[in-house]
């Protein structure tokens, strides 16, 4: 089950369609959907989590806590709407495109993809692009 939560004033466009897209992406990767919570928040809120849990005193667009077991994908995905807005401007893409990219990025981590090395980043970006191309919204 995918649940969308807000720590700030924010409303997700087309939550039902996005849920279907994420569920199909998980299935396409050969995994099963467990409990996935998206938490949309501010830079300040996510910075607190970053410092407290990861000991990183930097702004970030996403932090994911993976509770997956075997092929059952579960976890909490915190997304800073402030960062998504800024990144959309920086990369000259729409807010929704950048938000969807970050949302699927968290799921791909749960499916075992990493992004620490250049090769891992290239594969992750390729997977993001692929799933973004499958969106029906």
Q: What is residue 15's predicted lDDT score, i.e. its pLDDT?
A: 96
Q: List, as residue ranges, the binding site for Zn(2+).
A: 105, 109, 115
**Domain interval for residue 66:** 2-133
The per-residue pLDDT for range 2-32, each reduced to its tens digit, is 999 999 999 999 999 999 999 999 999 999 9
In whole angstroms, give the CA distance from residue 115 to residue 125: 9
Kindly state the helix (H) or strand (E) to which residue 41 belongs, with its residue range.
strand 32-41
DSSP codes of every residue in 26-38: HHHTT-EEEEEEE
Residue 96 CA: distances (Å) to CA of 66, 84, 102: 24, 9, 10
Question: Residue 91 maps to which CATH number?
Answer: 3.40.390.30
Q: With a cut of 70, which residues of the chain have pLDDT below it?
A: none
**pLDDT for the residue numbered 136:** 80
Q: Which residues are annotated as a binding site?
A: 105, 109, 115
- What is the Cα 92 distance to its own chain's centre? 19
Q: What total number of domains does the chain contain? A: 1
Q: What pLDDT is stored for residue 87 in this prediction?
A: 97
Rounded distance, CA 105 to CA 64, Å? 9
The pLDDT of residue 55 is 87
Rounded CA gap, 70 and 89, in Å? 37
| pLDDT of res. 75 | 98
Strand order in the sheet with 62-66: 2-6, 32-41, 72-80, 62-66
Residues 73, 35: contact at Cβ < 8 Å? no
pLDDT value of position 7? 95
Beta strand spans in 60-113 (E)? 62-66, 72-80
Single pTM value for the model: 0.93
Q: pLDDT at position 54, please? A: 84
């Amino acid at each position: 089950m995918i649940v969308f939560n807000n720590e700030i004033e924010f409303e997700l466009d087309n939550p039902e369609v996005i849920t279907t897209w994420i569920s199909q992406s998980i299935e396409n990767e050969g995994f099963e959907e467990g409990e996935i919570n998206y938490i949309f928040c501010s830079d300040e809120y996510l910075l607190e989590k970053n410092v407290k849990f990861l000991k990183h005193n930097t702004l970030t667009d996403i932090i994911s806590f993976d509770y997956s077991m075997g092929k059952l994908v579960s976890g909490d995905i915190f997304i800073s709407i402030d960062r998504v807005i800024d990144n959309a401007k920086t990369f000259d893409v729409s807010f929704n495109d950048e938000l969807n990219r970050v949302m699927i990025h968290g799921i791909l981590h749960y499916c075992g993809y990493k992004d620490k090395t250049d090769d891992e980043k290239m594969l992750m970006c390729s997977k993001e692009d692929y799933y973004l191309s499958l969106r029906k919204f």
